[in-house]
Structure formats: structure tokens, C-alpha cells
Amino acid sequence: MVEVTGEPSPNQEPTAPSADGGGVSAVVRRRFATVDTKLDRFSWLATAVVVAIAAILRFVGLSSPKGKIFDETYYAKDGYGLITRAVEWNYKDNVPSYVVHPPLGKWLIGLGEWAFGYQDAESKVSVPGHLITTAPEFGWRFSAAVIGTLSVLLLVRIGRRMFHSTVLGCAAGLLLALDGFHLVLSRAALLDIFLLFFVLAAFGALVLDRDARRRRWARALDEGLDPSQPGRAGRPSTGWRTWPWWRLAAGVLIGCACAVKWSALYFVPAFALLVLLWEVGVRRSAGVRRPWRDTLLDELPWLVLAGVLMVGTYLATWSGWLITDDGYYRLASAYPSAPLSDRPVIGPLINLFEYHRAAYGFHAQLDDAHKYQSWPWQWLLLGRPVAFHYASNGTCGAPTCASEILLLGTPLLWWSFLPALVALAWLGLARRDWRAGAILLTVAAGLLPWFWLALDGRTMFSFYAAPVVPFLVLAVVYVLGALIAPAGGDVGEVVPLVPGDPSYERRLVGSIAAGAYVLLVGLCFAYFYPIFVGKVIPYSDWLSRMWLDGRWI
């Protein structure tokens, strides 16, 4: 094996193949061999601290406020129906519920209700938990809190792997943990936190796939592979051990995301493009003569298989609807006016298609006015947050009190997103950095389609931006990493601050600025914390937090 003496920048230009055609140079092999950086021994300890902070913020007081808030009135009921009848069920009228979102997120909500109990006064349903009986609100919010905490863990590890820096990885996780938008979604039985988690997990799997494929090329080069040779002779050997397992896992995970909300489909072409670009990049660096042609020949079949797994995973989440006869639109005899089928095997799939067509029609025509609706160009500016809960009763030691749960991003963090994206685009172009491109492409995939749909006047809400929040945080962290990186060095490169170094003063100021920024985000989060979790506070204190009073009230 090539001896590795350092950790080169992931953006370093490789040396061309040797002139005698005997293979690539040792520099190229060393570049590939160091892609999978060993985690330092403190990495997981630091990760555990960040995740513990996230868990405390998300679980403490989770059962407050009492009752169902905002759209919990739909999803908590649907979750209970799924765990009891395998389909969404209206217990009040004892009929199937017509729903317009796939079932996976509601299945996860239902698992919390199964474990900790469920109660619905309107439907006169009250059941104890199978594990522990708690306040029913804890049951239907439990899974969201778990997934919200796990998404912080994912972001720490993804940031750690992308930037090769424990500090930047933990900074990304901490900023996400201290984001009010993410916190509120992690403490409510809505679907968007599950969508965020599965999209982020799929992206993380693709990053692992990128590293694994580069290690594969590194081993082949060390064994004497000559990539200038035509056909299979110039490519690494194949076998089930070299299959792109992480890419296939990404197919399953994006299928899970689609099974929460269909808007996950916007990320599918972006992720496929990332895979192709990364595969072309590794072949070009290795000296392959026709990197695009070889990439398409080698990788398209795997992308197709990942797509098959995505579809299969999505259909599997509908198994309760397909197997039982209770689901809405399930039987033609129950809906004679619809073009449904009672034929065995194929009939359920035909009916499921009709169900999806009806649900798509609902979404396409959704243009009813709502007081909390907003447009995509308002989201990153916090132009119209959504109030999940508001009450003026309670005791707070003042003549009038207020309690609110406002889906509001931590202002200092969110108002940093647009400048960070601009800086990321500039830095990424200047450095030809794959990480900047991956972050920008994913953010574009999650936001730009909504701008197009806005032209039709679709009713939209700020929580539609949930899946891109971790990637916006990564954009901020990338810029912070650039501030503290040595001159000409890689973002995340750890080099001690030494007086006399040409970039010493700039890095010292950058390190102080980065640390101060994270601290200020934490203070901003603490100030707004009462309106993230519904604490009862004096009305004057609540009003002082309505910075954009015309739009936040």
C-alpha cells in the first residue's frame, strides 16, 4: 500500500498518469487512499454532547401544551388508525379516512402512541400505552422528538465526514439543535421532521457511497490497475463485495422520504446527478480516457436498481392499505362511481393508482387562502411563520399572559442563510469544491420547485422548507470553516495557530468571529425559546419577541 504521510485537500488537483502508460502516479493513489479519514478518538464524545443537548431540548416538557396543536389533529388520529387497523381510520364515524399524504410518517407517529398511549375525546378513544402510560400528548409527539434528535446526530457525522473536522461537524449539529424551526417540528406530531430526516439520511448514504467508491479505485490503483486501458481492463474488478451498497441504501431511504411526503421526489434527480458527477470525477482523477462514457455504462444500471428499491420501499409502506379491505378507495364495491377494480392481485394496485391520482388532484388544486400561508421567497427571511398554538390563559405573575408555539427559525441563524449561500457559491467556484456543489444542488432541489409551483397560486407554508434546513446549516458551517482555514488550505483543515504564520492574524480573527457567531446564535435561541415551546410568559415579553409584528403575529 502507498504510505500516507498527510491528509491532502479533497480539492487538490491530481497528477496526470505517468508518461509511460504504466498507471497513475503515487500522488493520485495517495489522494484516493486518504479519502476515508480516520475519526479521532474524541469525535464521538463531542458528538454525544451535541446530541444530548438536542435530546434535552426536544424531550423536556414534550407533553405540553395539552391537546392537539395545529395539524396534530389529523396526523395523531391517522397514526392511531394505522397501528390499530393498518389504515387511517375515522373512529368518530367508524369509516375509512381519506388522506392525501403517504403513510410512513403517520406509522412512526403511531408507534409512539402504541408505546405510550393515546387519547381522543372527540372519538371517545382512550387506550393505555403498551410500554408506559404517560400523558397522551407525549405518545403522539415521541417519534418526532426521537427523529429530530437523530437528525442532529446525522448532521454531525455528515459534517464530520465532509469537512474532515470534528469541530465543524459538531458546529453543524449544534446549530441545527439550536434552530427554533427544527425544534418546533421535533416537538409536534407533523410529517415534516420525518421528511427532513430521511432526505438527510439519503444524502449521508451518498456521501458514504462516494468515499467507498474512491477507496475501491485506490485499492485497484495500488494493485497496478492501468486506467488508460480500454474496457474492463482499465476499471476495478467487480463482485458483490464491491457493489455500491450505500447507494442502494440511499434508494431505500429516499423511498422512505417519498413515503412521508411526495415532495421528496424533488431530490431524486439532484441525488442521481450527484452520483454521476462524483463518479465522473473519480474516473477523471484516475486518468480514465472517457470518464463520462464509462460512468454511464458502469453506473446507470446501479441507479436504476436504486430507483427500483425506492419504488419498492414506497409501496411497502402502503402494505396495510394493500392487504386489508379497510382503506379508502380500496374496494370498487365501496366506491362504485370510481373506476376501481376488485380483481385479485392487480386490483389493489389499480385502486392505489386511482387513490394517488385523486390525491394529486387535491394537491394540484390546493389554492384556498390561509392566514399562515407564505411564499417561497419569504421562507428564508422568516416572512410568515406558522403559529401552532396560542393561548392567553395561565399564570405568569403579570396582568395578562401569553403562551405560543411559533414555527420560527432562530432569526440570527436563518438570516445568515442567504449570505452563506452566496459566499458558498463564490468559494465553491473558486476552490472547485465538490462539497459546495453538493450543498448548493440539494438546496436548489428542495426550494426551486416551490417557486415554480407558486406561479399557480398554490397554498404554501414555511414548513415546506424543512428538508433543506440541514443543508442550509452546512452552508453556514462551510463559510465558518473557510474563515478559520489556513491560506490556500482546505475548509476544515486543522492547523495550529502559530504567530508568524502569513495567515495567522486572519485565522485568529476568523476563529473569534466563528466562535462569536455560534455563541450569538445560542443566545438568540435562548431569547426566543419561550415561544418555541409554549411557555406561559407576560404578554409584554411575548410582544417583545414579535420582531416583525405585522407578519409574526
pTM above 0.75, yes or no: yes
Is residue 154 over pLDDT 90?
A: yes
Task: Count other Cβ atoms within 10 Å, centred on residue 240.
Answer: 6
According to DSSP, the residues that pair with 404 across neighbouring strands are 390
Is residue 549 over pLDDT 90?
A: no
The predicted pLDDT at position 71 comes to 92
Looking at residues 457-486, what average pLDDT do you find? 94
- Cα dihedral 84, 86, 91, 94 in deg (nearest 10): -120
The predicted pLDDT at position 13 comes to 37
CA 7 to chain centre: 29
The predicted pLDDT at position 28 comes to 52
Query: Domain residue spans in the chain?
Result: 35-229+241-328+366-551
Q: What is the pLDDT of residues 482-508, one digit of tens each?
A: 998 876 667 766 666 767 677 778 888
Mode of pairing for the β-strands spanning 536-538 and 401-407: antiparallel
Share of the chain above pLDDT 90, in %: 65
C-alpha closest to that of 456 among 375, 377, 386: 375
Is residue 182 over pLDDT 80?
A: yes
Greater confidence (287 vs 205) lies with 205
Q: 21 pLDDT band (50/70/90 cuts)?
A: very low
- 447 with 468: CB under 8 angstroms? yes
Q: 9 pLDDT band (50/70/90 cuts)?
A: very low
C-alpha closest to that of 530 among 26, 10, 57, 15: 57
Looking at residues 160-165, what average pLDDT do you find? 92
- 109 with 75: CB under 8 angstroms? yes
Is residue 187 over pLDDT 70?
A: yes
Is residue 33 over pLDDT 60?
A: no
Is residue 128 over pLDDT 60?
A: yes
Q: How many residues does the chain have?
A: 553
Q: What is the pLDDT of the chain when averaged over all its residues?
A: 88
The predicted pLDDT at position 70 comes to 94
Is residue 421 over pLDDT 60?
A: yes
Q: Percentages helix, strand, coil for the chain, rounded to the nearest 5?
A: 60, 5, 35
The predicted pLDDT at position 228 comes to 76
Q: How far apart are CA 171 and CA 358, in angstroms?
A: 44
Could you give phi then psi for residue 388, rounded to 5 degrees? -85, -25
Greater confidence (132 vs 34) lies with 132
C-alpha closest to that of 408 among 179, 220, 65, 224: 179
What DSSP element (H or E) covers 351? Answer: helix 346-364
Residue 158 is placed in which grid cell? 455528515
The predicted pLDDT at position 32 comes to 54
239 Cβ neighbours under 8 A, 6+ residues apart = none
Is residue 41 over pLDDT 90?
A: no
The predicted pLDDT at position 29 comes to 53
What 3-state DSSP class applies to 68? coil
Looking at residues 374-382, what average pLDDT do you find? 95
The predicted pLDDT at position 36 comes to 44
Looking at residues 426-435, what average pLDDT do you find? 89
Evaluate the CA torsion angle 492, 495, 497, 499 in order and state its sign: negative
Buried b (16+ CB within 10 A) or exposed e, 283-300: bbbbbbeebeebbeebbe
Task: Count other Cβ atoms within 10 Å, centred on residue 59.
Answer: 18
Looking at residues 53-58, what average pLDDT do you find? 98
Q: Position of cell 411557555?
A: 535
- Cα dihedral 311, 315, 317, 322 in deg (nearest 10): 180
Looking at residues 215-228, what average pLDDT do you find? 84
The predicted pLDDT at position 285 comes to 87
Q: 112 pLDDT band (50/70/90 cuts)?
A: very high
- 497 with 511: CB under 8 angstroms? yes
Cis amide leading into 499 (omega within 30): no
Looking at residues 65-85, what average pLDDT do you find? 95
Looking at residues 366-386, what average pLDDT do you find? 90
What 3-state DSSP class applies to 119? strand
Is residue 518 over pLDDT 70?
A: yes
- 463 with 386: CB under 8 angstroms? yes
The predicted pLDDT at position 5 comes to 30
Mind spelling out the 3-state secondary structure of 250-283? HHHHHHHHHCCCHHHHHHHHHHHHHHHHHHHHHH
The predicted pLDDT at position 31 comes to 53
Greater confidence (13 vs 480) lies with 480
